[in-house]
Amino acid sequence: MDSAQLSFVPILIVGFVASLSLTPVSRAIAIRLGIVDKPAARKLHVESTPLLGGLAIYVALALSLLLFSPPQHVVEMGAVLSGAAFLALVGAFDDKYNLGIRLRLIAMMISALVLVVAGIHVQLFNNLWLDIPITILWVVTVTNAVNFNDNMDGLAAGLSAIAAAFFMIIAFSQSLSLVSTLAAGLLGSAVGFLIYNFNPASSFMGDMGALVLGFVLSVLGIKLEFGTQPLGVTWMVPLLVLALPLSDIFLVVVTRLREGRSPAQAGKDHTSHRIMSLGLSQRRTIFVLYAFCAIFGILATIVSLAEPQVAWGVGISGIVALAIWLVLMAYVRKRYQRK
């Protein structure tokens, strides 16, 4: 391994140390500004907890990338950090003033367009009139999905860290320096914050952090490229890595529409809540969901490395398993409501 291949190592370390060091600072700022998450019937925590953990996550991510990111990726990295900074700012105001879903969606679309201008977009059809709308839809969906999963101590940070780790491994195997360095920065900053966010959490990331994590994960999914695997196989890789947040947002939106509620209306109908309704503690629920992320990350890695025929079989098996999981979670919801 040469120094270029190992460039992700200092990024990972700096991201972790900076996030670990800055989280107490962001917590103090949140307390001083009165940006705290108060207990409510739809929430699991029982004490007011400071928000703005996303400040530590974003600054740590930006610092690690600005210090060590390869110079050939300056335009793309600049677009990612600019889009993430805009979402962090919008998220901070949302944490304080509750801006609402419409303004958040507009902000996500603006950040997605920043990526497009920098040349970051999906290449499914090699037609910008088709690929750009799909890019915007992907960015908005993944960003919202991670934000939806910020409903339990350690969940959004943990799933983001696991997803970033698998994106980093896959990118390293394909010699994708942009993805491996960006994933390393996200992994380090997420794990550093997770030290304070694991149950019982002393700091919450808020929308400021969840929007940043989701946005960067969406970019990682877009930038994965494969030299030998056909497109008919590779499209499954980011879907499998992000299986938990994507399946959760699908499950929640469908559930709320079927029950005559707005998809933007908060409630205890997420995957995490359904698993807890089976009698598991928060910590055990988190470990179940971490294992879920790891299993699908392993499947994604196999798909990225195996021969096309094997990869296709593994990928389709993973998607079928995900469909069965959704049916199971729908059954748990009905059982929980009856109880």
**Domain boundaries along the sequence of the chain:** 8-338
What burial letters (b/e) apply to 209-240, b meaning 16+ CB within 10 Å?
Answer: bbbbbbbbbbbbbbbbebeebeeebbbbbbbb
For position 241, what pLDDT does the model report?
Answer: 97
For position 226, what pLDDT does the model report?
Answer: 78
What are 84's two structure tokens? 């993430």
Distance in angstroms (rounded) separating the CA atoms of residues 5 and 159: 25
For position 274, what pLDDT does the model report?
Answer: 94
Residue 298 in contact with residue 314, Cβ under 8 Å?
A: no
Per-residue pLDDT of the chain (339 residues; tens, 9 = 90+): 444 456 788 999 999 999 999 999 999 999 999 998 876 655 565 577 898 999 999 999 999 999 988 888 899 999 999 999 999 999 999 999 988 899 999 999 999 999 999 999 998 888 999 999 999 999 999 999 999 999 999 999 999 999 999 999 999 988 888 999 999 999 999 999 999 999 888 999 999 999 999 999 999 999 998 766 777 788 999 999 999 999 999 999 999 999 888 888 888 889 999 999 999 999 999 999 999 999 999 999 999 999 989 999 999 999 999 999 999 999 998 887 655
Residue 59 in contact with residue 24, Cβ under 8 Å?
A: no
For position 1, what pLDDT does the model report?
Answer: 45
Distance in angstroms (rounded) separating the CA atoms of residues 312 and 19: 38
What does each C-alpha distance from 210 to 34, 103, 260, 279 come to in angstroms? 19, 15, 27, 27
Packing angle of the helix pair 53-68, 8-33 (nearest 10 deg): 150
**In the block, residue with structure tokens 């359904």:** 274
For position 2, what pLDDT does the model report?
Answer: 42
Torsion region of 126: left, alpha or beta (phi above 0 gives left; psi -120 to 50 gives alpha): left
Residue-by-residue DSSP string for 305-332: HS-HHHHHHHHHHHHHHHHHHHHHHHHH
For position 253, what pLDDT does the model report?
Answer: 94
